Amino acid sequence: MQDFTASRTADTADELWIVEHPPVYTLGQAGKPEHILRDVGIPLVKIDRGGQVTYHGPGQVVIYLLLDLPRLRIKVRELVSAIEQAVIDLLADYAVTAERRDGAPGVYVGEAKIAALGLRIRNGCSYHGVSLNVDMDLTPFDAINPCGYAGLKVIQTKDLNIPLTAHEAGERLSQHLLQQLDKQHG
């Protein structure tokens, strides 16, 4: 992502990368180590996105948004809203009500977080992105304060009776992201 972003030109096409990661904790630039409550043998990687600590693992879809924001004529806050709305719309397809929270990026179902968001903007181009918990082992979240919030519960689409694999969720979420970006751009 960093190399792709650093080597972009005005002609470089925007890309969405859909991935699943092996178990890993990531700590954002301003991340505070005290939000890592105990060592459970999962590697910790310090990365250059915003936000605190989160967990990525199998059964969670991560979509990296490699976008030229000036070309799309959208601002960072609009991008964050578009990403959150794409997750909200995906869940609404399955009659699940989700919401965003002021000052706490991501998407929530009730009191539990289902999607985390962390971006980095360099030379007007975004990278990093959004993670959606689909069908995964949620216990590694117990060893951290997810996104810096003590006691924050996490949830996944499987718990909401949404019958998607991580791959399927990634494909559907990417379609919702493209729709939102078209709305923002149009």
Q: Flag whether 56 is marked binding.
A: yes
Q: Flag whether 7 is marked binding.
A: no
| Own/partner long-range contacts of 179-186 (Cβ < 8 Å, ≥24 apart) | 179/86, 179/89, 180/82, 180/83, 180/85, 180/86, 180/89, 181/67, 181/72, 181/74, 181/82, 183/82, 184/72, 184/74, 184/78, 184/79, 184/82, 185/72, 185/73, 185/74
Q: Flag whether 51 is marked binding.
A: yes
Q: Flag whether 2 is marked binding.
A: no
Q: Flag whether 50 is marked binding.
A: yes
Among 104, 138, 133, 100, residue whose Cα is nearest residue 118: 104
Q: Flag whether 124 is marked binding.
A: no
Q: Flag whether 160 is marked binding.
A: no
Question: Is 147 a known active-site residue?
Answer: yes
Among 123, 112, 127, residue whose Cα is nearest residue 14: 127
Q: Flag whether 55 is marked binding.
A: yes
Q: Active-site residue among 147, 154, 169, 181? A: 147
Would you list which residues are annotated within the binding site? 49-56, 116-118, 129-131
Binding positions for substrate: 49-56, 116-118, 129-131
Active site residues: 147
